[in-house]
A and B are shown apart, each in its own frame.
Chain A
Amino acid sequence: METSGMVRQPGVRQDAGWAGAPYPVVSVDAAGAVRGLNAAARSLFPAAEAGGTLADACSGWLAEAHGGLAGGATGPVSGLVGDRSFEAHPVGHDDGAVTWWLVEDTDARLARAALRLERERTAVLSEVSSRLLTSLNPERCMQVTAELAAGHLADAAWVIAPGGRRDHPVTRCVRGAEAVHERLAIDPTEVAGLAEALQGFPPVPSRWIEPSSAPSWLLPDGFGEVGSIVVTPLPGHGVPAGALVLLRRTEQRAFSDDEEVFARLFAARAGAAMSAARLFAQQVSITDTLMRELLPPKLHQVDGVEFAGRYRPSLDSERVGGDFYDVHPAAERTAAGAGESLVVLGDVCGKGLEAAVLTGKVRTTLHALLPMASDHRWMLTLLNNALLNTHDTRFVTVVLGSVARVGNEVRLRLTSGGHLPPLVVRTTGEVQEVPAHGTLIGVLPEIEAATAEVVLGPGDTCLLYTDGITEAVGGPLGGEMFGEERLHATLADCAGMPADAVAEHVHMVAAQWIGGGSHDDIALLAITAPRGRHLTSVGGHGRGRHTA
């Protein structure tokens, strides 16, 4: 009865062919004694002789496998002979003897091991790359670098960035723990090789240093004894990216070849990521500084009069565009009453940064012309002259508004330089167009401009807006212009509302009209006269208490 899956060769005892077979063959009898070996087997097991036991003559694993056959084990087994490895295939015979055929798989095994190692390394490197690529935040990049280094290269890692004179941004991470970021007043010259690594140039190799020479700050609390420390520069892209300091508990003084290759790749990627993050941070800081003057201002109440603005550039990727507004608050209240605040809203032809740069010039010019604000026409004439004298051929449309609080009313003087007429919504819901007309600014040597006067009663609102609202294309059916009529109707709904709510409501209705479509720059500015009720409030809690 067959108890195993061995291949049985009925009747075959010994045949002359196997003696010269290219594979080692060992024939073993039912009792486990070696009955014979072929030439290949004899050279593999020089000590083996017929009659000896399989364990003594050959190898333990083969003897064990042979013993296992009686228990029903089947199939080939693998094992080492010296530093070679073999797969042993049993072929059973009727008398209980077994012939073991050994097939060498040393190369395949080594190849598989190398492949596995390579796959692991690739997986780690790809994780390293994707994690390093996620953030352009320098601090976060240092954190990721320290965590990855502590996870794959050492028991603890420091990432030290080039710093100011006093201190350096540093991140440290002990394997298994969270990375800690701080600014530390350290002296890089205390660690051999660190100062050079932080300079980034000339290139220096990694440097193993004596742990006993390391300054105490380099040893994390509770880390235990440090076996070895290596300082590795992080190559940047033309800028120094920083240095990596690795701490190991073992005294192993060098990386193995594999580790060396990995450490270099890691340092190259970490350095590239960190220098990119530093460059990005620098660019953001520069952009923010330059942009500050171009962004629309935050508006506040002035003398109880509410001002509220809304702004959306046509391009989502930009924060500024060709529309602009400003409110220049009146000077201090004098005995003659409050002065006039000057409101400006306009549109430079064109979009994007280039238009935004011109809005900056226009806003600065108008700011400088504030002393002439009592004479809008004169102000616009000077602006026109200023624009004609620049190389820029763009033109501008603008509305100037002088706002004065008189009792519980607000007097408005509005002048248009080729801009859309301001609208007024009364508390009754009536919407009026203010007849302020004039020519474009920056085209002709002479300009025309007519000033209109409007009085806002308590709760009335005047809305200045750009054509980004009226020319917004969209609607439920698509492709339709928002138009002035809809703007009037929208504004009529805003009777008696605070300036901020008016601006928000008009902006929302227009934006929802646009939906997901493209649009022009949008700017809105609402001026609302204080509601009467506030004037009557008494007891020191009157209007203006919460003005910003």
Chain B
Amino acid sequence: MTAVPRAVDARDCAGWLWDAVVAGDEHRATEVVLAAVADGLDTEAVLLDVIGAVQRRVGAEWAANRLTVAQEHAATAINDRVIAALTASSTAPGPRRGRITVACVDGEWHALPARLLAEVLKLRGFHVDYLGAQVPVPHLITHLHSTGPDAVALSGSLATRLPTAHATITACQATGVPVLVGGGAFGADGRYARLLGADFWAPDARTAGDRLAGGPLPRPRGGHQPIDDLPHLNDQEYTMVSRTRGQLVKAAYTGLEARFPVMGRYTEQQREHTAEDLAHIVDFLAAALYTDDDELFTGFLHWTSGVLDARGVPSRFLPPALTLLGAELRDFPRATRILRRAHDQSTRAPGPAERPEHEPGPAA
């Protein structure tokens, strides 16, 4: 077996870690990371610039169809264990700062960014309760009551989870605990963090660590109601669209089938993928209605057509799908506006593929 290369350049280390992770070689992945620390790279840099960088690359490779979702899970599982080995070998200082709860928005499957933040905060001397992904809001709130932390750090990568994120943020604040948020779901500029009334938005783990180390976030004042943030929800469009998701998908699917005879020869799996794509579109439409932000939807469509291209799926079905959904939702002014705008943009020549913040795929 080859010797572990000696180097302290985080980018080189990330390259070696990537090779090991893609090969499914947990043992070698661990060696790369431990060697990086032994050679003088500080643990925080290893977490964020080596492991974090690899995880971001995992997301990018998935989008480019060079990794399957399952392979992405395998890579994440290895990174997760690399983190465990790394933190077991390093001596974090005893808690000398406040107590922070780190969790993901419920329904979020990308737990690694939250895990990395939890480890960074531990290294910086915080007392951290890491709850991970799949934490229902009632559990989180019970946890806050029983531990009384100084802040909650909430991570979310999927814009479709923004309504849940909003419910979580207001529930935490109602217990008197300020909420710091981060992750792709909140927008590259943190616009949805502000919209949903988060107390602080951190573009990355370092900023989150710096902010918390700079002193406690002010306690939220009472009396804040979720509807205050989003008066447009009064029109019930979000509720109607999210409640009739299945029917909308069915209607759009049937319409597409009538228009593209090739779909009649689809395999069961192809049908399901098409239905899933349509369901995704409806989910993002619902999120755009929730935030009343057209760009959330158009940005997603721009990105998704790139992903579909990478998978060899023709994105030409997108404009007719939008038209079909528009016909179903003709009585809803905001949905109509968003769909029309998206339709206009999707029929124009697509620009260079760029990664919008609200990607439905993996993000680190």
Q: Report which A residues bind B (CB closer than 8 A).
A: 127, 130-131, 133-137, 139-140, 144, 277, 280-281, 284, 312, 316-317, 319, 475-479, 489, 493-494, 496-498, 500-502, 504-505, 508, 511-512, 515-516, 531, 533-534, 537-539, 541, 543, 545-546, 548
What residues of B have a CB within 8 angstroms of the CB of A548 in the complex? Answer: 84
> Given A316-B137, A476-B275, A545-B27: A137 and B73 within 8 A (CB)?
no
Cβ of B145 and Cβ of A537 under 8 Å apart?
A: no
Q: Which residues of B contact A (CB under 8 A)?
A: 1, 24-27, 30-31, 68-71, 73-74, 76-78, 80-81, 84-85, 106-107, 109, 134, 136-139, 142, 144-148, 174-177, 222-223, 242, 245-247, 249-250, 253, 269, 272, 275-276, 278-279
A478–B283 CA distance with the chains assembled, in angstroms: 13
Q: How far is the CA of A50 from the CA of B272 in the complex (A)?
A: 103
A284 CB to closest chain B CB (Å) equals: 5
Apart from A139-B148, A498-B74, what are 7 other A-B pairs with CB-CB below 8 Å?
A: A477-B253, A478-B246, A479-B246, A494-B74, A498-B77, A504-B73, A531-B24
Q: By the criterion CB–CB under 8 Å, are A539 and B80 in contact?
A: no
| Residue among B24, B78, B275 with most chain A CB within 10 A | B24
* Interface pair B176/A140, CB less than 8 Å apart: yes
Q: Which 8 residue pairs spanning A and B have beta carbons closest together?
A: A478-B246, A316-B136, A501-B77, A137-B148, A476-B275, A476-B279, A130-B222, A493-B70
Inter-chain contact A508/B109, CB cutoff 8 Å: yes
A134 to B81, CA, bound (A): 38
Q: For the complex, would chain B's binding face be called helix, strand, loop or mixed by DSSP majority?
A: helix
The chain A residue with its CB closest to the CB of B269 is: A489
* Contact indicator B27/A537 (Cβ below 8 Å): yes
Shortest distance between the CB of B199 and any CB in chain A (Å): 14
Contact B174 A508 (CB under 8 A): no
Whether A539 lies near B1 (C-beta < 8 A) is yes
Contact B222 A127 (CB under 8 A): yes
Residues of chain B lying within 8 A (CB to CB) of residue A140? 148, 176
Cα distance, A133 to B109, chains bound together (Å): 33
CA distance A502 to B73 in the complex (A): 8
Q: Are A130 and B136 in contact (CB under 8 A)?
A: no
**A131→B222 contact, CB < 8 A:** yes
User: In the complex, which residues of chain A have a beta carbon less than 8 angstroms from the beta carbon of B253?
Assistant: 477
Tell me, rounded to whole Å, the shortest Cβ–Cβ distance linking B262 to chain A. Answer: 19
CB distance from B34 to the nearest CB of A (A): 10
Q: A501-B70, A546-B81 are in contact. Are A319 and B139 (CB under 8 A)?
A: yes
Question: Cβ of A316 and Cβ of B138 under 8 Å apart?
Answer: yes
Report 13 cross-chain contacts, Cβ distance below 8 Å, ordered by A residue.
A130-B223, A135-B177, A316-B137, A317-B136, A476-B246, A477-B246, A497-B24, A497-B70, A511-B134, A541-B31, A546-B27, A546-B81, A546-B84
Give the Cβ gap from A318 to chain B, nearest Cβ, in Å: 9
Contacts of A541 in B (CB 8 A): 27, 31
Contact among B24, B27, B222, B278 for A476, CB-based, below 8 A: B278
Give the distance to chain B from A395, nearest Cβ to Cβ, in Å. Answer: 28
